[in-house]
Structure 1
Amino acid sequence: MLEIANDKTNTDSFEMTGKCPFGGDRIAGATGTPPALSDWYPDRLKVEMLHSNGPSANPLGEDFNYAEAFNALDLEALKQEIKGFLTTSVDWWPSDYNNYGPQMIRMAWHSAGTYRIADGRGGAGEALQRFAPINSWWDNGNTDKSRRLIAPIKQKYGSALSWADLIVLTGNCALEIMGFPTYGFAGGRHDAWEADVSTYWGPEVIHDLKKADSFDSMVMRDKRWRGKNGDADYDLENPLAATHQSLIYVNPEGPYGDGDALGSARDIRVSFSRMAMNNEETVALIAGGHAFGKSHGMVKPDRIGAPPEIAPIEAMGMGWHNPQGKGHSEDTMTNGIEGSWTPNPTQWDNDYLINLFKFEWEQTKSPAGALQWTPVDKNAPKTPDAHIEGKMNDLMMMTTDIALKVDPEYRAVCEKFLNDFDAFTQAFSKAWYKLTHRDMGPRERYLGPEKRNQNDLLWQDPIPLADYDLIDAADITALKESIMATDSSVSDLVYTAFSSAVTHRSSDKRGGANGARLALAPQKDWDINQRTVPVVAALRKLMEEFNGQQQGNKQVSLADLLVLGGCAALEKAAADAGFTTAVPFTPGRRDTTQELTDIEMFTWLKPVADGFRNYLDQDFAAVSQGVAPEEMFLDKAQLLSLTSPEWVALTGGLKAMNANHDNSKHGVFTDRVGVLTNDFFTVLTSMDFEWKKADTQGMMFALEDRKTGQQRFTATRSDLIFGSNSQLRAVAEVYAGSDGQKRFVKAFVKAWDKVMMLDRYDVKV
């Protein structure tokens, strides 16, 4: 029934003739593909993002325990196998200098380097480098070859070794075989199983897929920048970290490929700080990474084939076909810049910094036409060709390298490392560990004999281990009674518990109730948390009384009490609604200290908008960049790993509790505040009422009785979206039904427990 027109088929596409299996002509969208739902309705709330990468996509099954499988591996034997491979070469993609190490460092670096502090997305944690769009970014050119080279090792170890762990471990092994002492390695990264459809990587749109992510697209910069270059308000759009479309960090040729070293330094500082790196870590990573290997730029970019995601089917998922010469080796094309930074590209040494500062550098062009730098002194050391025996080449620097020399702050760090190679080695070792482990979350998730358990890494958000016995069931019952005897209301207790836990991000596993950081700076000072202050004080007093009365080694933490208070309050709220419900509670949270809390890094967890608590930052209009509150609400629901039914149920229950940050009545569609009713849903879906705008911006709304015209309730966009969006309304209607109350209470309690337990990696894999 399907006829392929072979005479019209080329390496990039094929055409079908006939009208089967689909009749009619497809209407092509801007990219030449059929229009998607988002093309027809670009402003619709994409609730389906909550169900991406779900269990149905995972071939390992929900019962598979990766921690058990990984811990059963002989890590040292695995490392020796990787290291043995790294010093070999295969015909279809030969190694530079007979050593795959440098290209594997790049693979690991680029896998981890997508991490950004603003929302915790990106990073090496799920091996998303395997999927679109990351697998087809120009900056990731030929990383597909690196992954295919180590695929036999992955196949041998199967599900006991995730791609995410293998990519980072291979980078570590590469460093070690070239004489660099790594800071260690921790396993525990779980693979994703489908493309990331939810992460916002920038506003740019490429209409010609044949040129998608090409070298020329790196100049697509202005759309993600705000203000004018050089002005005080000139800044990169949040939450982005890469300064250009299709890049991991910055354009190696300068902001616009213009060779502006000072401009490049500014870009580097913005980009690396967005990835939680300070000046010393930034210099250590750049200088350390460029101590190895070379860059490739032997072929004009317009000759290189399509990236993996749109490469011809016979390419079997590999892209960037190079038609010149061998297509690899001395004819390799990757980012367009050609050459090595040091005379010994497979040996850890300080030659990168020595040569950068010893010689003056002048601009030149690579064979591919990319801007790069060469020593003015023709007697400067040479570097051996990666493939041609006996051939020597000039050293190379990128504009991003020259930037470290001309920027005063970066230069000071470079000079420190020039004078103290041991300090440089330690700085790069720790920075590399941070780069490749930053998105893993608490140390409880770290696996393997090389993991580091010390509290010396502040970026790990350390929480001291408990040196006391946990409370038991009898203690929990007694503490619940004591909590309910305080002056704290049901609503305030629920609000405080939720505020303690809702900072969690499933992206980089940061935040959450464990640690009781709600009581520490900066969280205790956030406007959205001021309602929690008296509750925290009351629970702290209760903690001190309980711990002071104990004869043995038993204690309760403030972190546990914050959650337990919410659980106790919800049990009363459910009972008042006519349901006897035991809200699950698992003790074992510990308290951390102010000294172990990085205030600057935790400030990034402060919400701009929070629909659960009907909060908008006072500068929301200026910082939201046109993103609607309900879109930010959806984003937060995804960071909490909620499904759409969980999101709907959790929101409805919190509205019944009046969990608004300022105790306002917006979204509180009930006269029985503090009772766990489904009133939010019955009012929201009722046609007896009509919603009308209460302001000109369409941010606030009032509910009127259709018959009497009397105003009943008020709401925000984050409330009404559950009745406006078709997918969310379908769920809300279930909870609003005649049999919905019991179903709602059960769903809410389950979703509540999920949020309270999101950061409990001490009791889950």
Structure 2
Amino acid sequence: MDGNAPMTGKCPVMHGGQTSNGNSVTSWWPNALNLDILHQHDTKVQPFGPTFNYREELEKLDVEALKQDLRDLMKDSQDWWPADWGSYVGMFARVAWHAAGSYRLADGRGGGGTGNQRFAPLNSWPDNVNTDKGRRLLWPIKKKYGNKISWADLMILSGTIAYEVAGLKTFGFAFGREDIWHPEKDVYWGAEKEWLAPSDNRYDDVTKPSTMENPLAAVQMGLIYVNPEGVNGQPDPMATAAQVRETFARMAMDDEETAALTAGGHTIGKCHGNGDAANLSADPEAADVEYQGIGWMNTKGRSVGRDQVVSGIEGAWTKNPTQWDMGWFDMLFGHEWELKKSPAGAWQWEPVDIKEEDMPVDVEDPSIRRMPIMTDADMAMKVDPAYNAICQKFMADPEYFADTFARAWFKLTHRDMGPKARFFGPDVPQEDLIWMDPIPEGTTGYDVAGLKAAIAASGLTVADMVNTAWDSARTYRGSDMRGGANGARIRLAPQKDWEGNEPERLARVLSVLEPLAEQFGASVADTIVLAGSVGVEMAAKAAGHDIEVPFAPGRGDATAEQTDEDSFEPLEPIHDGYRNWLKKDYIVSAEEMMLDRTQLLGLTAHEMTVLVGGMRAMGTNYGGTKHGVFTDREGALTTDFFVNLTDMANTWHPIGDGTYEIRDRQTGETKWTASRVDLVFGSNSVLRAYAEVYAQDDGTEPFLKAFVDAWTKVMNADRFDLKA
């Protein structure tokens, strides 16, 4: 202690550093590479311990009792948050919809698969107003069933049960979503610094929705889809139709699914805008402690019933907002509509002429009739020719509409769960849907050792084998569990033609591996991965080390008929730091893009480090370039990348186009060339710390073990049968 420091008035705790007001390392050095995304869901934040297995807990769940409790909840209005018309079906359809609706196809992030609606920013998005009340209504059920049901599963199930209670025959439901335990703060939701900022900055041209910045899907910060009042809040149903089409396509929906979801989603429930939004308290994340995580309370009113402000639009879409019927179509196509303002000042469409008996009743007093409404997105279904034609088809065949909606709802709420192997429970549909990326069951009863020997004798190089296995597996996304080596879709369109897969080299390697797979009765998927293992073992042997790469047979081979080519296009790599490749120059740095891919692969910073170093030494760069190949033993699995990167006998010099020369400090002779991705492992303090571990004289053994472990992790990333 400093004996001269005055103690009076001093608080003995650090101020600000543990709250949002604190200055982090990245705020001091904003251009530093932030590796936090690679450790987004550290096991230390999980409260159950390392032995917890959610699938085992699910097996203890009384599913029928849980479903009955949810059915009862739909009709059990609570005094603290009364149900509209005495029913919560609209509330829970919205909770589930808004949990699932943040999913985006471009990178697979978002969606309801992790329970992330509990945390910021999603718990406080303007579009999610009052979903906090839905989660509190679910709390007694969550409390009762405990760890046998995740929040993620419970929220999505509540929406499905809501539709069943309303009268819809649903398509099915799958358990299996595991909760996260802290915010996914590193997910990019947009660059805006304020909620609902004009969407212009998300587009090259806001009148051309396809120019929206990738990987974004929602049109404004804080929305899951489009602005219900119109583009930037200006009503124009045709312009809104274009945004709806692009946004839903970015969330993996076609026009028919989009129209069905719009109509079916607005068949139950209502919009709330009967008051002044300025009177609402702060959102949940900003509210003070006495609010206990409840936000958006009306400080000058009751906050409940007819006295709510959510979207700002006020009214129901149908005459019977708690029933599944064709009421949305009857209302939209049975009337002419005009623009009006809600009590909260929001734009909404109201019928020009409607009989009182065709209007919905007040949410609290059934003796009062209220004006129905449509949003700009609803009107888009009427004015857009393609959407209108689909709606006409639905109106002519209500059973077809109900089935189409049920399937679209199932897709919406399960799209981010990955393949059917991850689905659990009595209501999992038997039908294999193409968006699930189905893969036939593989075989394990072949001669693995014989196939391995045949691959080794095939004449393929280390780079041939390692690159093909890597390119097949690197498509995996832990965000929505798509991609990966299982299925061997690298041999099918569109993957076989992707520039990043070097089509000519790929075709040559497959021409060798496919006959071997047939000869030994193995899948091509297994053979590709096994070849990668052979390549790694040969490279280690060339460095003087005998290692064995673990291999688990059992992958299957998907067919072209089981592959939705369009939905696989977003998985195309446009960069690969592991193979030192960029399709073109981007605004985002190569090293930042490598972090994004690494996180999707489920790898940590040290796993990324060891894989890059090993792959450089083996000479696996795209096109055979020599950037980062800091060795005179190319093809051997050595630690030379790290040894020479950290050697102070070298200097480093930019030569333009993102490339560098490594020169001898004494002679000035150029020894190697490098990319930014190579040099970041020496310049970033965290990555350098890892690199130094493997550059040490005793670094070879830990390097080989770490490389094999990381390699195997990538090859098995999509083997959910091994993780059950």
TM-score (norm 1): 0.91
Q: Which moves more between the two structures, 173-182 or 574-583?
A: 574-583
Please state how far the C-alpha of 1:452 moved relative to its aligned partner: 1.9
Please state how far the C-alpha of 1:425 moved relative to its aligned partner: 0.6
| Aligned residue number for residue 429 of structure 1 | 406
Distance 1:32 1:725, change over 3 A: closer
2:523 is the counterpart of 1:557: yes
Contact 1:490–1:570, Cα closer than 8 Å, also in 2:
yes
1:606-617 superposed matches below 5 A: 606-617=572-583
Please state how far the C-alpha of 1:234 moved relative to its aligned partner: 5.9
| Aligned residue number for residue 549 of structure 2 | 583
Match of 2:45 among 54, 57, 80: 57
For the residues of structure 2 that align with 1:759 and 1:734, how far apart are their CA atoms?
Answer: 29
Match of 1:393 among 361, 367, 370: 370
| Aligned residue number for residue 740 of structure 1 | 699
Which deviations, in whole Å up to 9, do the C-alpha atoms of 1:337-391 show, x marking residues without a partner? 1100000001111110121111111111111111101100142621011112311
Contact 1:272–1:282, Cα closer than 8 Å, also in 2:
yes
| Aligned residue number for residue 270 of structure 2 | 294
Q: Which moves more between the two structures, 436-445 or 52-61?
A: 52-61
For the residues of structure 2 that align with 1:636 and 1:438, how far apart are their CA atoms?
Answer: 20
Distance 1:316 1:518, change over 3 A: same
For the residues of structure 2 that align with 1:712 and 1:527, how far apart are their CA atoms?
Answer: 30
For the residues of structure 2 that align with 1:445 and 1:491, how far apart are their CA atoms?
Answer: 33
| Aligned residue number for residue 358 of structure 1 | 334
1:718-729 superposed matches below 5 A: 718-729=677-688
Match of 2:140 among 134, 137, 152: 152
Corresponding letter in the other structure for 1:578: G
| Aligned residue number for residue 121 of structure 1 | 109
Please state how far the C-alpha of 1:575 moved relative to its aligned partner: 2.1
2:565 is the counterpart of 1:599: yes
2:515 is the counterpart of 1:541: yes
2:212 is the counterpart of 1:253: no
2:665 is the counterpart of 1:677: no
Please state how far the C-alpha of 1:219 moved relative to its aligned partner: 4.1
Partner SS state of residue 248, structure 1? coil
| Aligned residue number for residue 4 of structure 2 | none
Q: Which runs of 5+ in 1 are unaligned?
A: 1-16, 207-216, 547-554
Corresponding letter in the other structure for 1:703: I
Please state how far the C-alpha of 1:453 moved relative to its aligned partner: 3.5
| Aligned residue number for residue 344 of structure 1 | 320
Distance 1:492 1:102, change over 3 A: same
| Aligned residue number for residue 676 of structure 2 | 717
Partner SS state of residue 683, structure 1? helix
2:446 is the counterpart of 1:487: no
1:40-439 superposed matches below 5 A: 40-206=28-194, 217-226=195-204, 228-230=205-207, 235-379=211-355, 381-439=358-416
Q: Which moves more between the two structures, 406-415 or 141-150?
A: 406-415
Contact 1:443–1:453, Cα closer than 8 Å, also in 2:
no
For the residues of structure 2 that align with 1:426 and 1:398, how far apart are their CA atoms?
Answer: 24
Corresponding letter in the other structure for 1:354: D
For the residues of structure 2 that align with 1:248 and 1:723, how far apart are their CA atoms?
Answer: 40
Partner SS state of residue 660, structure 2? strand
Q: Which moves more between the two structures, 752-761 or 527-536?
A: 527-536
Match of 2:629 among 668, 676, 681: 668
| Aligned residue number for residue 592 of structure 2 | 631
Give me the identity figure in percent.
48
For the residues of structure 1 that align with 2:210 and 2:555, how far apart are their CA atoms?
Answer: 42
Corresponding letter in the other structure for 2:675: T
For the residues of structure 1 that align with 2:459 and 2:543, how far apart are their CA atoms?
Answer: 22
For the residues of structure 1 that align with 2:284 and 2:147, how far apart are their CA atoms?
Answer: 24
Distance 1:234 1:438, change over 3 A: closer
Corresponding letter in the other structure for 1:717: R
TM-score (norm 2): 0.96
Match of 1:34 among 22, 47, 59: 22
Which deviations, in whole Å up to 9, do the C-alpha atoms of 1:237-268 show, x marking residues without a partner? 00001001100101100011111111111111
| Aligned residue number for residue 7 of structure 1 | none
For the residues of structure 2 that align with 1:651 and 1:423, how far apart are their CA atoms?
Answer: 52
Corresponding letter in the other structure for 2:367: G
Corresponding letter in the other structure for 2:143: Q
Corresponding letter in the other structure for 2:229: E
For the residues of structure 1 that align with 2:506 and 2:44, how far apart are their CA atoms?
Answer: 39
How many aligned positions are there?
714
For the residues of structure 2 that align with 1:378 and 1:292, how far apart are their CA atoms?
Answer: 20
Distance 1:116 1:556, change over 3 A: same
Corresponding letter in the other structure for 1:734: V
* Structure 1 moving runs of 4+ over 4 Å: 25-28
Which deviations, in whole Å up to 9, do the C-alpha atoms of 1:198-218 show, x marking residues without a partner? 210001013xxxxxxxxxx42
Cα-Cα RMSD: 1.6
| Aligned residue number for residue 448 of structure 2 | 476
Please state how far the C-alpha of 1:409 moved relative to its aligned partner: 1.3
Please state how far the C-alpha of 1:72 moved relative to its aligned partner: 2.3
Q: Which moves more between the two structures, 333-342 or 381-390?
A: 381-390
Which deviations, in whole Å up to 9, do the C-alpha atoms of 1:664-711 show, x marking residues without a partner? 11111111111110001111111111111121x4x1111111111111
Contact 2:210–2:246, Cα closer than 8 Å, also in 1:
no
For the residues of structure 2 that align with 1:360 and 1:281, how far apart are their CA atoms?
Answer: 25
Contact 1:441–1:509, Cα closer than 8 Å, also in 2:
yes
For the residues of structure 2 that align with 1:465 and 1:241, how far apart are their CA atoms?
Answer: 34
Contact 1:324–1:331, Cα closer than 8 Å, also in 2:
no
Partner SS state of residue 389, structure 1? coil
Corresponding letter in the other structure for 1:324: K
Corresponding letter in the other structure for 1:535: V
For the residues of structure 1 that align with 2:340 and 2:699, how far apart are their CA atoms?
Answer: 71
Please state how far the C-alpha of 1:32 moved relative to its aligned partner: 8.4
| Aligned residue number for residue 496 of structure 1 | 468
Corresponding letter in the other structure for 2:638: T
1:514-529 superposed matches below 5 A: 514-529=486-501
Contact 1:60–1:159, Cα closer than 8 Å, also in 2:
no
Please state how far the C-alpha of 1:178 moved relative to its aligned partner: 0.7
Distance 1:560 1:234, change over 3 A: closer
Contact 2:441–2:554, Cα closer than 8 Å, also in 1:
no
| Aligned residue number for residue 12 of structure 1 | none
| Aligned residue number for residue 11 of structure 1 | none
Contact 2:610–2:703, Cα closer than 8 Å, also in 1:
yes
Corresponding letter in the other structure for 1:671: D
For the residues of structure 2 that align with 1:541 and 1:32, how far apart are their CA atoms?
Answer: 59
Match of 1:20 among 2, 5, 11: 11
Contact 1:219–1:257, Cα closer than 8 Å, also in 2:
no
Q: Which moves more between the two structures, 38-47 or 159-168?
A: 38-47
For the residues of structure 1 that align with 2:435 and 2:132, how far apart are their CA atoms?
Answer: 31
For the residues of structure 2 that align with 1:615 and 1:130, how far apart are their CA atoms?
Answer: 38
Corresponding letter in the other structure for 1:726: S
Q: Which moves more between the two structures, 360-369 or 529-538?
A: 529-538
Corresponding letter in the other structure for 2:198: M
| Aligned residue number for residue 650 of structure 1 | 611
Corresponding letter in the other structure for 1:529: N
Corresponding letter in the other structure for 2:714: V
For the residues of structure 2 that align with 1:558 and 1:470, how far apart are their CA atoms?
Answer: 13
Please state how far the C-alpha of 1:22 moved relative to its aligned partner: 4.5
| Aligned residue number for residue 762 of structure 1 | 721
Q: Which runs of 5+ in 2 are unaligned?
A: 1-7
